[in-house]
Every structure is written in C-alpha cells, then in structure tokens.
Structure 1
C-alpha cells in the first residue's frame, strides 16, 4: 500500500495540551459549560417527587399500624377487666366500692 492509503493510522504522541505523553486524548470541552440541562432537571425532580410520595405513604401506613396496636391494647384491657369482674362474681366476693374485696374481713373483725 502507498503511504497515503495505509490501513491503520500511525499513533502520535503529543506533548501539547490536547493529549498526554501516552497518547490518550484529553477532553476539549470546558467542564464549566457542560450542564445536565432539562433532562437532568426532570430526572432529579421525578426522583424527589417519588421520594416525597413514598414518605407520605409510609407515614400513613405507620399511623395505621400504631392505631391498630392501640385499639388492640384497649380491647385486651377491656377483656381483662370483664374477665376479672366475672371471676369476682363467680367467687362470690363482690367486694366493696373500691374493688379490693376486703369488706367481709372488716365485718368479721367488728
């Protein structure tokens, strides 16, 4: 082949500002002028919106779990109070007004 029609270009090493000593080209674009543009803004805005909506959804679900736990605790307390009242009635010790059940003991001491 002739010198003008060679198949592979010859590697050149440059010591100027456009390359390094190993021949790796350096970017010629000014990094201060490159911005993400509208696409980058929309992507970031979409991520922020998704994060906000996920946070709202999580807060709503946590409130629901807390409310169900509170209602379950109230139901257990009411059931315990009913069971204790039934046990007191079954034992025949109605007790006095404060619910201590020691009214009969005071009558026996007097």
Structure 2
C-alpha cells in the first residue's frame, strides 16, 4: 500500500470568487470517505498548498449533508477579477492545485 494518495482520487472540487476572496468546495466521491476528508484536508494544509500566492486567512466550513468542505481564502486572487493581471482571475485552476495534494490514505 502506498504511503500517500492523491486527493483527486477521492474527491472533486469547484472554485469561485468574490472580489479578492477564493472559495473552493471539495466533495468526497464516496460518503464513506467524508470523515477522512474532514480529518486530512485541514485549513492549515490548504494554506500551505496556496502559500506561494501570499494568501490571507483560510477558513474551513464543513458540509456533512453534502459530503464536502468549503474553504474561503482571503487575498488569493491578486486583487480580484477586475484588478488581477493573471490569466486565471477567478481562481478556477486553484481547485486543481488542491486536488493534486498528497495525503495519507483513508483508514
């Protein structure tokens, strides 16, 4: 058994924006993996994954009825849609960055 797994093998994600704030929701494919997702995909892990963007605070909201987690990340979009010189002004690609995280496998 591998020491780590890719998050994308166990979950999918959707990202959106509000100004300079990124919202990324991550949903387990299988309801049985939701507790693992809660335990492993912490706000601290998400902050570390996005640290290269010099982000602000990361807040995590649990969505147990949907089997998902929503992360709200301040200052993640280089000023937001109207101000950012970047190609991905809405932060859609950042959901894929999160899905590439390597985590301990589900128990």
Structure with higher strand content: 2
Give your verdict on TM over 0.5.
Answer: no
Larger Rg: 1 or 2?
Answer: 1
Normalised-by-shorter TM-score class: under 0.3
TM-score normalised to structure 1 length? 0.18
| Structure with greater contact order relative to length (CA < 8 Å, sep ≥ 6) | 2
Task: From the two aligned structures, give the one with the greater helix fraction.
Answer: 1
Given the two structures, how large is their TM-score scaled by the length of structure 2? 0.18
